[in-house]
Amino acid sequence: MIRIFSILVGAFFSLALLLAVLTGAYSYVTEPPAKTVEATFYEHPEKLALASDGVFGKFDRQQLQRGFQVYKEVCAACHSLKHVAFRDLSALGYNEAEVKAIAASYTVNAQDPLTGEFKDRPGMAADKFPPVVYAGKGVPPDLSLITKSRHGGAAYIHSLLIGYSEQPAELIKAFPDAKTPDGLYYNRYFPTLNLSMPAPITSEGQVTYGDGTKATVDQMSADVSAFLVWTAEPELEKRRQTGLWWMGFLLFTTVLAYMAYRNIWAEKKGH
Amino acid sequence: MSFPWANEYKPSHPLMQWMDEKLPLPRLVYNAVGSGYEVPRNLNYMYNFGILAGLCLMIQIISGVVLAMHYAPNTLVAFDSTEHIMRDVNWGWMLRYGHANGASAFFIVIYAHIFRGFYYGSYKAPREMVWLLGVVIFLLMMATAFLGYVLPWGQMSFWGAQVITGLFSAIPLVGDPLREWLLGGFAPDNAALNRFFSLHFLLPFVILGVVILHIWALHINGSTNPTGVEVKTKSDTVSFHPYYTAKDGWTVGLFMLIYSAFVFFMPNALGHPDNYIPANPMQTPAHIVPEWYFWPFYAILRAFTVDFLIVPAKLMGVLAMFSAILVWFFLPWLDKSPVRSAKFRPLYRKFFWVLVLDVAVLAYCGGAPAEEPFVMISQIASLYYFLHFFVIVPIVSSIERPDPLPFSITESVLGHDGQSALGAKA
Amino acid sequence: MAEDAGIDTPTLAVEAGVRRRDFINIAAVSAAGVGGLATLYPLISQMSASKDVLALSSTEVDISAIEPGQAIKSIFRKQPVFIRNLTPAEIAEADKVDVASLRDPQTLAERTQEGHENWLITMGVCTHLGCVPSGVADGEVKGEYGGYFCPCHGSHYDVAARIRKGPAPLNLQVPEYTFLSDTVVKIG
C-alpha cells in the first residue's frame, strides 16, 4: 500500500519535472539566450605572484609598507579601512614611535568616557582607522576585507587597478547598446564591465616610494594589493605557522595510531 | 546488542566496584564502546563515519560555545564582532575557521554515513528506529547550519535568511504570516538575528540528545555489516575495544589531517567571498548560493520552474525539496527486499551508483548560477532523484533476484566456517 | 581472542614482538593525549584579554590644565584614575600625619614620584569593595580628612588618598606611571 502511494507521489513530482524540462527546452529552442556583453568581454584576473602566496609564504614587509603608502595617498581619499587598528601596523615593521605618529596624523571622532561627549582628537595606537566621508554618489566599499570578499582576491584588485581602458571598438560594434554610461568607467576585469570608480592609479610616479622602488602603475597596484591581503587577514602568517606544526604532529600521531591498529588487528585474519 | 559471549564488566579495583554499585557509568561505557560490546568483525572503513560524525559534533559544540563568548548577535555589530574574533581575540581566527570548516566537515562525514546506509541497507528491519533518528539528526543539522550561517551577518547570511524564510511564504494561506512570525518582522533584522543565535546555540544540544538515542537504538540490535548477514556465532564478532577503538583512532587522525588542512591552509575555500561583505538589505549579490552542503537540495528547489496542475511552481519546489528528505523516513518500508547489502543486490547496486552520480550532479547545479544548461540538467537530475526513491526502490526490491548470501560473517572473512559445514550436514 | 581466528600463537618466539607492539600502542595513545592537551591551550587562551583590550593597557594624560588644589578623573584600563595637584598646604598636612598610626602606613613621598611630589595619582577604586570614591570635582564630598570619601560603606581617605576611617583595608592604589614631560603622564 505504502509502495503504491509512493509511486503515485513519485509520478507527481516526475511529471512536474518532465513538464518543466520540456517547457525549458522549448523556450531554449524558440528563444535561445543571447550572448551577453559581460560573457563576451569580461576577463578573469591576471595571475599575481605575491610573497605571501603558498603554504610557506611570508609577507614582504617592505612591499606592505609601500602598499600602505599607496593606500594612504591614493585609496584613502574615498575608501575606509575600518577593521584595521593603527597598532596593527607594527606588524608591517613600524616601531612604536612610528605607529604613534601615523595614528596621530589621523583625526578620530571619539566619545570622551568621562563626559560622554563626541570630540575630535588625534588618533592613538589603539584606535581603528577612522571612517572616510565620501562626498560623491554611492558608497565606496571598506577595503579591510576586500581581498577576501572578491573572487580572485589580490589578483582581482591588481587586475582591476591596471584594467581601465577605452571601450574596445569590437564591443560597440557587437553590442551597440552597451556603451559605458556617463559617470561610469570601462574595466574589462569588472564583472559588469562598468564601474563608478575612475582609474585611481594613472601615472608612473604618482607615489614617491621611500625605498627607491620605481613606482610604475603595475608596481603600485601590486603593492597595494599585497597590503590589502594583509589587512584582510593580519593573522595569516601565524595561521600557517601553527598549521605546519600541528599537521606535522598529527601526521606523526596518525602513523603511530595506524601502526597500533595494525598490531591489534594482526591476529584477526582477513584484515 | 549484548551477545551471550560478550565480555562482562568485572571491576577489580574496590573504588570501581564501589562506583559500579552507586552509579554504573563505567559499566555503561564498557558495554557501549568498550570490551563488552561485540561488533561484526568485517566492518569496512565506511563504518567509521559514525564516530567521525560524533567527533564533528563535539568540535562544533566546543568551538561554538567558545565563539559565543565573543560574538554579539546584533545587526549593528554582528559583522564587526566576527572580525573582532578574527583579529583581536587570542586564537580567534582558529576558532572561527575551525567552526566554519567544522560545519563542512560534519556534512561530508554525514553524507558518507547516510550513503553507507543506503548501500548496506542499514535502514532495514530491525534497525528502522536507528535510521529514523538519523534522519531527524540530519534535519536538525540542516536547520542548525542554516541558522549559524546567518550569524556573521554578511551578504550571504542576510540573503540566505531572506530566501530560506521565503520558502515558508510558499505555503498557501498561512505562508506569509508564518514567515513574519519566524522572522519577527517583515524582513530579516535584529529580531531574526537574535532568535537565530538563540536557536543556533540550542539545537546542537538537541542534536546531541537525539544522537544518544540513535546510539542507544543501534545497541539494541547491533551494527549491520557489509554482508548484511546477521551475527550468528562468537567467531562473527570482535569486541569494540580494542579492535574498533584502534581502527576509529587512526581514522580520526586521518580525518583531523584533512580537516586541519582546510582550517590552516585554505579556510575560505568552501565559503563564499560575498559573506565578507556586511549585510546590505538594499542590494542582492549577483549569485545567491547557500553553503555547498545544501546544493543538491537547492538544485531540487530551483528545478521546479513551471506550475503543475493547481500547484504553483514556487510551492512545488518547496514541497519537492522537503519531500526529497522526508522520503528517507519511509525508506525502511519502501524497500522490501529481504537482502540488506547492495553487495548481493546486482540491480539495486547499479541504481545506487546512479544515485551517487545524480546527487553529485545536483550538487554541482545547485552551486551554479540559475542559467541554462544548469537548470535543465538539474531538472533531469531531480527527476532521477524522485524516481529513485519513490519508484525504483520499491519496484526493484520486488522484482530483483539477489545473489546468494554467505552463510555467515566468518565465512565471508575466512572463506570457510566450521558452523556452515555442520549446518549443511543438518 | 587468538583462537577465534584459528591461529595458535607460539608464546616464546613472539615475546619480544609483543613488547614492541605494546610500546607502539602506548606511544599512540600518549601522542593522542598530547594532541588533546594541545587543543585545550587555545580554548583556554581565548578567554584572556584580547589585543584590543591590551592596547588600552596604558593611557597618556595631559595634566597641564590641573591647577593646584584641583583634581581630575581619567580612565585607565576601563577604571577611573584620580590625578590630583596638591597644594603646598595639603602636602604639609599629609606629611604631618604620624605614619605609624595609619592602617596602611605610607608617607606621601612613597606615594608620589621624586620631582613631582605635588602629583598624587591613584586609582579611583575603593580598596574595600570597588566603588568609586567621591571628592575629585569641586563640591563633591571629600570626607572627614579632606581627600576622598567612598559613599558605599563610608571609607574616608586623606589628601594623600590614605585610608583613615571606615572599612577599607588599604590606601587607594597608586598605579605605575611615568612623566613623559612636565605636562604629560603615561599611566601603565
Q: Residue A271: its pLDDT value, please?
A: 45
Q: Residue C17: its pLDDT value, please?
A: 63
Domains and CATH numbers, chain B: 37-421 (1.20.810.10)
Select the residue of B276, B304, B394 nearest A20 (Cβ to Cβ): B304
Do residues B67 and B99 make contact, with C-beta atoms less than 8 angstroms apart?
yes
Q: pTM for the full model? A: 0.92
Do residues A202 and A217 make contact, with C-beta atoms less than 8 angstroms apart?
yes
Model ipTM value = 0.94
CB contact under 8 A, B91 and C52: no
Mean pLDDT of chain B: 95
Q: Is the pLDDT of residue B314 over 80?
A: yes
Question: Which of B3, B90, B255 would best serve as a mutation to test chain C binding (most C beta carbons within 10 A)?
Answer: B90
Select the residue of A6, A16, A144 nearest B334 (Cβ to Cβ): A6
Q: Residue C9: its pLDDT value, please?
A: 45
Nearest CA of chain A to the CA of C102: how many Å? 32
Residue of A nearest to C38 (CA): A246
Q: Residue C8: its pLDDT value, please?
A: 43
Range B351-376 average pLDDT? 95
Amino acid symbol at B196: F
Residue of C nearest to A113 (CA): C75
Backbone angles phi, psi at C125, to 5 degrees: -125, 115
Position A78 in a domain? yes
Q: What would the pLDDT profile of C118-152 be if each residue is shown by its tens digit?
A: 999 999 999 999 999 999 888 888 889 989 999 99
Q: Is the pLDDT of residue B349 over 80?
A: yes
Q: Which subunits count as partners of chain B given 3+ CB pairs below 8 Å?
A: A, C
Q: Is the pLDDT of residue C1 over 90?
A: no
Triad B19, B25, B27: Cα angle to 5° = 90
> Residues A136, A260: one domain?
no
- Using CB atoms within 10 Å of the CB of residue A85, give its burial: 0 to 12 exposed, 13 to 18 middle, 19+ buried: buried
Distance CA B179, CA B186 (A): 8
* Cis peptide preceding B373, ω within 30 of 0: yes
Helix (H) or strand (E) holding C76: strand C71-76
Contacts of A19 in chain B (CB under 8 A): 306, 308
Residue of C nearest to A267 (CA): C2
Select the residue of B42, B253, B264 nearest A257 (Cβ to Cβ): B253
Backbone angles phi, psi at B93, to 5 degrees: -60, -40
Task: State which residues of chain A have pLDDT below 70.
Answer: 269-271
C-alpha A79, offset from chain centre: 14
Q: What would the pLDDT profile of B81-130 be if each residue is shown by its tens digit?
A: 999 999 999 999 999 999 999 999 999 999 999 999 999 999 999 999 99
CB contact under 8 A, B88 and C28: no
> Residues A200, A75: one domain?
yes
CB contact under 8 A, B92 and C28: no
Cell digits of residue A211: 625605498
Q: What would the pLDDT profile of A60-71 be if each residue is shown by its tens digit?
A: 999 999 999 999
Q: Residue B2: its pLDDT value, please?
A: 77
Question: Is C156 an active-site residue?
Answer: no
Q: What would the pLDDT profile of B144-198 be if each residue is shown by its tens digit?
A: 999 999 999 999 999 999 999 999 999 999 999 999 999 999 999 999 999 999 9
CB contact under 8 A, A114 and C2: no
Which H, E and C letters describe B332-374, residue by residue? HHHCCCCCCCHHHCHHHHHHHHHHHHHHHHHHHHHHCCCCCCH
Range B340-367 average pLDDT? 97
Residue of B nearest to C35 (CA): B253
Q: What would the pLDDT profile of B245-255 be if each residue is shown by its tens digit?
A: 999 999 999 99
Q: What would the pLDDT profile of B364-420 be if each residue is shown by its tens digit?
A: 999 999 888 899 999 999 999 999 999 999 999 999 999 999 999 999 888 887 666
CB contact under 8 A, A253 and C28: yes
Domain total of chain A: 2
> Residues A57, A178: one domain?
yes
Select the residue of B84, B95, B250 nearest C42 (Cβ to Cβ): B95
Fill in the DSSP letter of residue B249.
Answer: H
Contacts of C45 in chain B (CB under 8 A): 90-91
Position A12 in a domain? no
Residue with the larger pLDDT of the pair B421 and A75: A75
Cell digits of residue C44: 583556554
Q: What would the pLDDT profile of C31-44 be if each residue is shown by its tens digit?
A: 999 999 999 999 99
CB contact under 8 A, C52 and A126: yes
Q: Residue B426: its pLDDT value, please?
A: 39
CB contact under 8 A, A265 and B243: yes
CB contact under 8 A, A270 and B305: no
Q: Is the pLDDT of residue C7 over 60?
A: no
Region of A264 (left: φ > 0; alpha: ψ -120 to 50; beta: rest) is alpha
The region of weakest confidence among B9-18, B133-142, C12-21 is C12-21
Q: Residue B422: its pLDDT value, please?
A: 52
CB contact under 8 A, B372 and A269: no
Do residues A261 and B246 make contact, with C-beta atoms less than 8 angstroms apart?
yes
Q: Residue C4: its pLDDT value, please?
A: 41
The 10 Å Cβ neighbour count of residue C30 is 12
Residue of A nearest to C77 (CA): A113
Position A147 in a domain? yes
> Residues A144, A242: one domain?
no
Distance CA A9, CA B273 (A): 39
Contacts of A268 in chain C (CB under 8 A): 1, 5
> Residues A173, A52: one domain?
yes
Domain range enclosing A247: 235-264
Position A1 in a domain? no
Q: Residue A137: its pLDDT value, please?
A: 81
Position A19 in a domain? no
Q: Is the pLDDT of residue B55 over 90?
A: yes
> Residues A253, A133: one domain?
no
Contacts of C50 in chain B (CB under 8 A): 70, 84, 88-90, 92
Nearest CA of chain A to the CA of B120: how many Å? 20
> Residues A223, A250: one domain?
no
The 10 Å Cβ neighbour count of residue A254 is 23
Q: What would the pLDDT profile of A123-182 be if each residue is shown by its tens digit?
A: 999 999 999 989 888 889 999 999 999 999 999 999 999 999 999 999 999 998 889 999
Position A104 in a domain? no
pLDDT band for B286, please (50, 70, 90 cuts): confident
Mean pLDDT of chain C: 87
Contacts of C6 in chain A (CB under 8 A): 269
Q: Residue B156: its pLDDT value, please?
A: 96
Q: What would the pLDDT profile of B218-238 be if each residue is shown by its tens digit?
A: 999 999 999 999 999 999 999
Q: Which 30-89 residues of chain B touch chain C by CB within 8 A?
A: 62, 66, 69-70, 84, 87-89
Position A91 in a domain? no
Question: Which of A3, A5, A6, A17 would best serve as a mutation to test chain B binding (most B beta carbons within 10 A)?
Answer: A17
Q: What is the dihedral of CA C77, C79, C85, C89, to 10 degrees?
A: -140
CB contact under 8 A, B95 and C45: no
Residue of A nearest to C17 (CA): A263
Contacts of B90 in chain A (CB under 8 A): none
> Residues A148, A241: one domain?
no
pLDDT band for B58, please (50, 70, 90 cuts): very high
Amino acid symbol at A81: L
Do residues B253 and A253 make contact, with C-beta atoms less than 8 angstroms apart?
yes
Range B277-298 average pLDDT? 94
Residue with the larger pLDDT of the pair B425 and C39: C39
> Residues A180, A250: one domain?
no
Nearest CA of chain C to the CA of A51: how many Å? 26
> Residues A228, A240: one domain?
no
> Residues A254, A170: one domain?
no
| Total beta-carbon pairs less than 8 A apart between chain A and chain B | 171
Position A191 in a domain? yes
Q: Residue A112: its pLDDT value, please?
A: 81
Q: Residue C16: its pLDDT value, please?
A: 62
Residues of B designated catalytic: 219, 223, 247-248, 291
CB contact under 8 A, C1 and A267: yes
Triad B271, B274, B275: Cα angle to 5° = 65
> Residues A161, A248: one domain?
no
Residues 6 or more apart from B327 whose CB is under 8 A from it?
A: A6, B334, B389, B390
Residue with cell 612610528: A98
Residues 6 or more apart from C100 whose CB is under 8 A from it?
A: none
Select the residue of B86, B389, B414 nearest A270 (Cβ to Cβ): B414
Select the residue of C1, C9, C55 nearest A87 (Cβ to Cβ): C55
Distance CA B126, CA B123 (A): 8
Contacts of B413 in chain A (CB under 8 A): 269-271
Select the residue of C35, C55, C60 nearest A253 (Cβ to Cβ): C35
